[in-house]
Amino acid sequence: MNSDKKAVLLQKNEKNKLLLAGLAEVGKTSIYQVIFDNIDPKTIDTTPTHNYNIYTPSIEFIEGNNFIVIDIGGQKRYLDLILRQSKAFFKGIVCLLYIIDIRKEKKFDDSIKNFKELLTIVTKYAGAIPVFIFFHKYDPGVSEEEEKTREERANQLAELLANSTYEICKNCILRIFKTSIFDKESLSSSMVDVISYGLLEDVFRNLIGGIFLEESHNTILINYNKMIEEDPNNQETLKTFATKLGSNISSMFKEEIAKLQLKSSKSQLDEKKTKKMTLIDSDIISRPKIEELPTRDLEIEFRCPMIDYNFPNSAKNLNKEYCIITHGLLEGILFTLDFQEVEQLQTSIIHKTPTCKFRALTSKIF
């Protein structure tokens, strides 16, 4: 993408920009490729970034998650160029993700210097924003002695960065993660926090209603079908990602979720005191009084987003794996609300609509 096209893209996207920065060869672009392009770490493109690149990623199973990533080249001449950019360049930046190679202790001073310069200019134009730092290349499989040394190094560096952040922006929230492209589950979990707390608050606010209300099949998309079919081993990673996302959503908006009284004209209590409800018929009402909510188990039935809607051809392939994203999101949200044992009971076709049924157990009120 040439400079003119980059400038046009930046002008069209004036909000929800993630600034991805760090010194050269710390693994910035590799992180992007592994998380958003689903590229095997062994086959990633290690070509250095010149000036800066702009990406428009998507979280495949969430609609309306428009944001852009500005990946700044790590060589000094590119970093200096970014620091001389105008206010327009920084307009709409809502999150800074700074990458540090935890193995290169000799580069720490340069990393801290660059981080402080970048944070100063970003906060000047964008104000107090969430700041995330990845201590990257924290690869698994090291010796016990090396792990101890690495932990000491990480703790000292974290303290220096925390002090630097506070000096520049007292209202900036700093979060530090240990990451490796060879530990995709941990890397995905860290990126979920960046996305949740740094980028897509409005999207997630809408997603709350989308999961529980009638439009859930429009909010959660079906683009992971092919990936799940071709790579069954990826199912657990996808579910972990979705569960962490659901947990973050629930933590961020617990008050709103508490106002979701899940009900339906079909809801009823059976002899076992199990609440049955169809979430696609739910609506939002004011928060009920706490004493009005009995302890109960929930049996939840709603549209599964993981099925191709081209029926009847795909109906014969219906199975639990297709609801892995739905299960993860629901599990993350309900766990935060003190539910346990979110069990997927079955998948079925109801009125030509793919439907998943889950059961969630709780001994507490919510």
CATH number for 254: 3.30.1380
- Residue 42 CA to residue 25 CA, distance in Å, equals 16
Residue 243 lies in a domain: yes
Which residue type does 202 have? D
Residue 273 lies in a domain: yes
Q: How far is CA 350 from CA 214, 267, 278, 353, in A?
A: 15, 17, 12, 5
Taking 50 as the threshold, does the pLDDT of residue 271 lie above it? no
- Residue 44 CA to residue 20 CA, distance in Å, equals 18
Residue 210 lies in a domain: no
* Domains in the chain, number: 2
Residue 204 lies in a domain: no
Q: Which structural domain range is residue 342 located in?
A: 216-361
Mean pLDDT over 241-262 rounds to 62
Please indicate, yes or no, whether residues 227 and 190 belong to a single structural domain of this protein.
Answer: no
Q: Which helix (H) or strand (E) holds 284?
A: none
Please indicate, yes or no, whether residues 148 and 15 belong to a single structural domain of this protein.
Answer: yes
Are 328 and 236 spatial neighbours (Cβ–Cβ below 8 Å)?
Answer: no
H helices of the chain, where?
3-12, 28-36, 76-83, 87-90, 108-126, 144-168, 184-194, 201-212, 216-219, 225-230, 235-252, 254-258, 324-336
Residue 62 lies in a domain: yes
Residue 121 lies in a domain: yes
**Residue 339: helix, strand or coil by DSSP?**
coil
Please indicate, yes or no, whether residues 187 and 243 belong to a single structural domain of this protein.
Answer: no
Please indicate, yes or no, whether residues 192 and 316 belong to a single structural domain of this protein.
Answer: no
Please indicate, yes or no, whether residues 257 and 177 belong to a single structural domain of this protein.
Answer: no
Task: Check residue 99 and give its pLDDT.
Answer: 94
Model confidence at 351, pLDDT cuts 50, 70, 90, reads low
Please indicate, yes or no, whether residues 26 and 115 belong to a single structural domain of this protein.
Answer: yes
The larger pLDDT score, comparing residue 98 to residue 297, is at 98
| CA-closest candidate to residue 326, choices 241, 214, 199, 203 | 241
Please indicate, yes or no, whether residues 8 and 146 belong to a single structural domain of this protein.
Answer: yes
Q: Assign residue 32 a region: left if phi > 0, alpha if psi is -120 to 50, beta otherwise? A: alpha
The larger pLDDT score, comparing residue 138 to residue 347, is at 138
Residue 206 lies in a domain: no
Please indicate, yes or no, whether residues 329 and 181 belong to a single structural domain of this protein.
Answer: no
Residue 355 lies in a domain: yes
Last residue of a domain, one of 173, 199, 225: 199
- CA neighbours closer than 13 Å in the CB half-sphere of residue 346: 4
CATH of the domain at 75: 3.40.50.300
Q: Which residue has the tokens 């002899």?
A: 271
Q: Assign residue 272 a region: left if phi > 0, alpha if psi is -120 to 50, beta otherwise? A: alpha
Residue 239 has which token pair?
Answer: 């579910």
Mean pLDDT over 214-221 rounds to 36
Please indicate, yes or no, whether residues 337 and 255 belong to a single structural domain of this protein.
Answer: yes
Q: Which helix (H) or strand (E) holds 322?
A: none
Task: Check residue 272 and give its pLDDT.
Answer: 38
**Helix 235-252 and helix 201-212, axial crossing angle in degrees, nearest 10:** 100
DSSP 167-197: HH-TT--EEEEE--TT-HHHHHHHHHHHIII
Last residue of a domain, one of 169, 199, 229: 199
Distance of CA 77 to the CA centre of its chain: 32
Sheet holding 93-101, edge to edge: 52-55, 68-72, 17-22, 93-101, 131-136, 174-178
Please indicate, yes or no, whether residues 190 and 222 belong to a single structural domain of this protein.
Answer: no
What's the predicted TM-score (pTM) here? 0.67
Task: Check residue 318 and give its pLDDT.
Answer: 52
List, for residues 32-54, the tens digit of each pLDDT value.
888 877 788 887 776 666 667 88
Last residue of a domain, one of 199, 228, 262: 199
Are 220 and 325 spatial neighbours (Cβ–Cβ below 8 Å)?
Answer: yes
The larger pLDDT score, comparing residue 259 to residue 328, is at 328
Lowest-pLDDT range, 105-109, 317-321, 325-329? 317-321
Please indicate, yes or no, whether residues 167 and 234 belong to a single structural domain of this protein.
Answer: no
| CA-closest candidate to residue 196, choices 164, 244, 229, 124 | 244
Please indicate, yes or no, whether residues 136 and 264 belong to a single structural domain of this protein.
Answer: no
